[in-house]
Structure 1
Amino acid sequence: MTLHFTKTTTSTTFLPRQVAEKIPFSSKKMPQILDYFSVKPNSMEAKTIKQTIKECEEPGTKGEEKYCATSLESMIDFCCTRLGKSIQAISTEVKK
């Protein structure tokens, strides 16, 4: 099996928990979300946000443990509850 990993030109960062908790992460609150980030309703960014929230609101497949983290802290909390506290986060970067 051949896997291809692409490197993006834009970096994505997590919001701090105290900021993420103030954002209404719900498709019913889409106008407030777009306003919070100053995103125009018909822009590509808005479409991406809408799609992300839609995917998070959909039920997981049978047997899937689905979770949509809104902050790095919430992702760590989720991982620790599922994997335990003796975990180590690692990442790699492949040079051309």
Structure 2
Amino acid sequence: MDKLELRGRTTVLEGQDGGSGRGRFSVADISRMAAGLTARETEVFRQLRDGPSTRDLAMRLGITERTVKHHVVNIRTKFGDISRFQLCLLSATWGTAPTDD
């Protein structure tokens, strides 16, 4: 089972396979990874913070479910082949970080 642990502003993810998807991600780490996303991927990543279904995400963004799946796969790959669940946790951590705006 995937596990989330929050330590201050660090998210610790452990995958069930003990391999990929493990690590500690600070808000700065997540921001660096997110910088490599396209504008649309960033929008999808931000929307993942509350764990919506593919259908809900498609409706929110006005795109097809197939397109949502495509974006999620691309984001997961860019973040090191982590699970969708882990991606949602990272999005939630990133989404609650204070901004410098």
Which TM-score applies when normalising by structure 2?
Answer: 0.31
The structure with the largest alpha-carbon Rg is 1
Which TM-score applies when normalising by structure 1?
Answer: 0.32
